[in-house]
């Protein structure tokens, strides 16, 4: 039976795999970029490095990690850490493009451009999350359970709100967030954002 449990350090390789297998608007992104790890280094693994206490894993009955939710309770502090400590480790592996034209170059440039104060929603919605579930997990209520687990912890910490950004082409994810009652927030660069306020 599938279960939800806290992240463990041995889950790190699975974070890369799950992120990759869901990165193309919910579909498998294998081979889209020259280095498949780029997805995980931007959107999954830094969170478990910075906030392992805000990460939960969906574990299959055979022990495989098949989904996760990762988060930060302070987006601006996280983005400062990402800019100053996390992303510089990969400058040799992903040199900054002179002109970011291809999708891969634009994604690498995104890594270099991240920093505090860039998201207009952080004042009222300071936390943010990423959630990824392999297709075999769908229809079991696991996404909702992951969200509820994270939200309960953020409320316990007194965090006043959470936002998330997503690829608008991932219509299934958008429908999921709307079913949860999350509100649509302003977004930029053609993306889509949702938010949730917590009573504190």
Indicate the CATH number for domain 3-197.
3.40.630.30
pTM score, whole prediction: 0.93
Mean pLDDT to the nearest integer, 125-140 = 91
Residue 14 has pLDDT above 90, yes or no: yes
Worst-scoring range by mean pLDDT, 24-28, 63-67, 102-106?
24-28
Give the model's pLDDT for residue 51: 97
Q: What is the DSSP string of 73-108?
A: S-HHHHHHHIIIIIGGGGTTTSPPPSS--SHHHHHH
Give the residues across from 88 on adjacent strands. Answer: none
Q: How far is CA 175 from its chain centroid? A: 17
Exposure b/e, 4-20, CB count within 10 A at least 16 = b: beebeeebbebbbbbbb
Give the model's pLDDT for residue 200: 65
Where do the domains of the chain lie?
3-197
Which residue from 172, 186, 69, 81 is spatially nearest to 124, judged by alpha carbons?
186
**Residue-wise pLDDT tens digits, 141-199:** 999 999 999 999 999 999 999 999 988 888 888 899 999 999 999 887 778 999 999 97
- How many CA atoms within 13 Å lie on the side-chain side of 51? 25
């Amino acid at each position: 039976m599938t279960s939800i449990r806290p992240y463990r350090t041995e889950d790190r390789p699975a974070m890369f795999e799950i992120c990759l297998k869901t990165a193309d608007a919910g579909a498998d992104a294998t081979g889209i970029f020259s280095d498949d790890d780029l997805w995980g280094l931007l959107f999954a693994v830094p969170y478990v490095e910075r906030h392992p206490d805000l990460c939960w894993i969906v574990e299959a009955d055979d022990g495989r990690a098949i989904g996760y939710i990762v988060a930060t309770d302070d987006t601006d502090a996280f983005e400062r850490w990402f800019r100053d400590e996390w992303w510089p480790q990969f400058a040799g592996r992903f040199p900054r493009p002179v002109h970011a034209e291809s999708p891969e170059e634009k994604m690498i440039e995104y890594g270099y451009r991240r920093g505090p104060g860039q998201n207009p929603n952080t004042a009222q919605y300071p936390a943010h999350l990423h959630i990824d579930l392999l297709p075999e997990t769908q229809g079991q209520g696991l996404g909702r359970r992951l969200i509820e687990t994270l939200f309960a912890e953020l409320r316990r910490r007194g965090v006043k709100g959470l936002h998330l950004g997503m690829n608008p082409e991932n219509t299934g994810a958008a429908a999921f967030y709307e079913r949860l009652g999350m509100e649509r927030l302003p977004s930029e660069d053609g993306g889509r954002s949702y938010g949730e306020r917590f009573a504190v």
